[in-house]
Amino acid sequence: MDIYNEIARLNPRQKEAVLHTEGPLLILAGAGSGKTRVITMRTAYLLHSGAPASSVLAVTFTNKAAREMKGRVSAMLKGPKNKGPVISTFHSTCLNILRKEIERLGYRKDFTIYDTSDQLSLLRGLLNDVKFYDKSFKVENVLERISRSKNDMPSPKNSVRSKEDDIDIFAGALYPKYLEALKTLNALDFDDLLLLALKLFREHPDVLDKYRDRFRYIMVDEYQDTNRVQYDFIRLLAGERKNLCVVGDDDQSIYGWRGANLGNILDFEKDFPGTAVVRLEQNYRSFGNILLAANGVIRNNRKRMGKALWTEKENGPEVKVFKAADSEAEAKWVADRIMQLKYEKKLSYEDFAVIYRANLFSRQFEEALRRERLPYSVVGGTSYFEHREIKDLASYLKIIANPLDDHSLLRITNTPKRGLGPSAIIRLSDFARDNSLSLLEALDRAGEITGLGEKAAGSAQRFAALIGKYGELFAGNKGMGGILKDLTEEINYRDHICALYKTPGAAMKRLENIEGFVESLSYYEKDNESPSLHGFLETLALTDMEKEKEEKNGGGITLISFHSSKGLEFPVVFIVGVEEDILPHKKSVYQDGGLEEERRLFYVGITRAMKELHITYCGRRLKYKKDEPCNPSRFLEEIPEEVIKRIEGIEATSPDEEEEAAREFFSNIKKIIGA
């Protein structure tokens, strides 16, 4: 049997994790400890020892992780090519359940999913009719609070709501309105997907039983990133059987700001008595010195399970710490160093990564690399779905798929212009409200509205008819790409875009995006067994459309943020901008647990490196407009000095910072006295 051979090649800890199939299991998988290998093999072993594939559920956070795991599992189960286990993200797992059962909760089945930008614009609209709207509250912050309260619902474990500030109170006041709005729009936001699935389990034991009976073995990846709702969901699903295996690394929890609850992993043993804990501490990725640096840093965190990576590999070169005069010098040094190493060690560009705290830092490195003609690609940044034209077209599809979605309809009633300005819209929405109609129905019956001009009424009715017509066309579920294309032509969207963007280049780009969007619908249709408009919209909302990204990532040196780098590895890593106020980010220092999370971020960065690690910081840096001196990060001192080799840049730190400060001081005084 092949699988036993494979298992025999594992280290003792790994083996233990793979062979433990019944009862709760916590795998603390350090960076580079062969985690993916263990969980795929564990899955294979489960199936091999007789568990039906459909009884195994593996939940991940990202589509990427799910895809990767699926690929590796199916490669391992080369024999019978029948259906594998269910491997999907939290959100799509819940969505699949809701699609079948949501009517139990009094929702309609044809709901649509609102992404963050939908949520924001919905909130903006709501904000306008709220009294105490303090403009210093940003919609984003309000949404964050709302989402937060959705995610850490009070429960015995965290009922203490210590800090309540004005935004909290405000968000609290808005919360019910927001929920109500979503409900009437027949829409769910991302949080709802999880929350409602949980509600379903809580309120309908028969449904819960059904799924408990089906999923007998559950695995959760990146468990340190789970929030309260996810925790409850999983715990319920695992039920009495508790064949629950969670895999994670408390030291790599870097999404606390998004609601991840480190307590979930720290308290797992308490919550599931009899848990077997397996620590995977042997690292197969990095040279010794890199691990010494990583351990040295992370050791300073108090809230953790405790774990130290070790390796059989040699120590390798020291960690280079470079102090640059300024950010330009930093970028140039990195570029030069890459050229040199590439040549010396015969590496390829793909072997290098530059890791920074915030995406905006990518710029200086892009410039330096471009100057030296080194190929690179930037990971992250604004997604293509943020583009207005994509959102417009998506809104068309949404209202077609979900006739109750007033909000999406609102976005496009006058896009492109069809003579339905604000006053007409107000009349229409009033009419809808007074007669408890959806906005679309109101448009259809615009003729009955007193005070609405004939022209506007006609336009509204024509528009409603258009939506109705395409509703029927799309209901056929075939040739949807073509139908969408017809739609864009019928509404003259092309002209709209050309009028909007004056430069031909910009307009061209937008038009290409539109074409791309139509293509992605056609592609979805071809790729899917039973395609539907709803299905497409779900894919749109729930997947990152990785193909797009991968095409964009044309190889070369990788420029990436700490957050996105998690899970990746590179032979040579440069961690840049390791300065106070940047790496422990200025704002993080005040949040509780903030500093420790920043430290974990640094730890994640360090452990990406396989062979060589470089850390850089600047003596001074352009901040907004001013050139300000900066200090090395406090985390640097936590790296054991013996693994470090310091390199000083040319002493360009102005020999007398004091003199400069003095000069500034005097010029300020001059200003004050009005000289």
Active-site residues, by number, are 35-36, 221-222, 252, 608
Write out the DSSP string of 96-121. HHHHHHGGGGT--TT-EEE-HHHHHH
By CB under 7 A, which span of 395-403, 404-412, 505-513, 538-546 interacts with DNA? Answer: 538-546
Distance CA 440, CA 303 (A): 53
Count other Cβ atoms within 10 Å, centred on residue 306: 11
For residue 236, which amino acid is it? L
Q: Does 303 bind DNA (CB under 7 A)?
A: no
Footprint on residues 342-381 left by DNA (CB under 7 A): 357-360, 380
Burial profile 513-541: b = 16 or more Cβ within 10 angstroms, e = fewer: bbebbbebbbebbeeeeebbbbbbbbbbb
Give the x/- contact pattern for DNA in 110-149, rule: CB under 7 A: -----xx-------x----------xx--x----------
Conformation bin of residue 242: beta by default, left when phi > 0, alpha when psi is -120 to 50: left
Q: Which of 40, 43, 55, 92 binds DNA (CB under 7 A)?
A: 92
Single out the residue of 447, 448, 490 nearest to residue 467, CA to CA: 490
Which is nearer to DNA, 311 or 561 (by Cβ)?
Answer: 561
Annotate each residue in 257-276 with x if it binds DNA (CB under 7 A) or - if it does not, as one string.
xx------------------
Q: Is 190 in the site for DNA (CB under 7 A)?
A: yes
DSSP 650: P
Q: Which of 475, 477, 474, 444 is nearest to 458 (CA)?
A: 444
Cβ closest to DNA, residue 30 vs residue 584: 584
Residues 237 and 264 sit within 8 Å (Cβ to Cβ): no
Indicate which single residue of 303, 455, 462, 587 sits in contact with DNA (rule: CB under 7 A).
587
Q: How far apart are the first and last CA of the chain?
A: 89
Which of these segments, 165-173, 503-511, 582-590, 639-647, binds DNA (CB under 7 A)? 582-590
CB under 7 A: which stretch of 344-352, 416-424, 431-439, 629-637 binds DNA? 416-424
- Nearest C-alpha neighbor of 337 from the set 357, 320, 360: 320
Name the minimum Å distance from CB 92 to DNA: 6
Q: What is the DSSP letter of 318?
A: P
# residues contacting DNA (CB under 7 A):
44
- According to DSSP H, which parts of 267-326 are helical? 268-271, 288-298
Strand-by-strand arrangement of the 25-29 sheet: 86-89, 56-60, 217-220, 244-248, 25-29, 276-280
What's the min distance (Å) between Cβ of 396 and DNA? 18
Least distance CB 190 / DNA (angstroms): 3
Task: Assess contact for 524 and 474: CB atoms under 8 A.
Answer: no
Q: Which of 367, 594, 634, 653 binds DNA (CB under 7 A)?
A: 594
Q: Provide, rounded to whole angstroms, the least separation between the CB of residue 433 and DNA.
A: 21
State in angstroms the smallest separation of the CB of 455 from DNA.
12
Could you say whether residue 544 binds DNA (CB under 7 A)?
A: yes
From the list 98-106, 240-248, 587-595, 656-664, the region that binds DNA by CB under 7 A is 587-595
Select the span of 206-214, 483-491, 523-531, 586-594 touching DNA (CB under 7 A).
586-594
User: Can you give the binding site for DNA, defined by CB under 7 A?
Assistant: 61-64, 89-92, 115-116, 124, 135-136, 139, 190, 254, 257-258, 357-360, 380, 414, 417, 419-422, 541-544, 561, 563-564, 585, 587-588, 591, 594, 598, 624-625
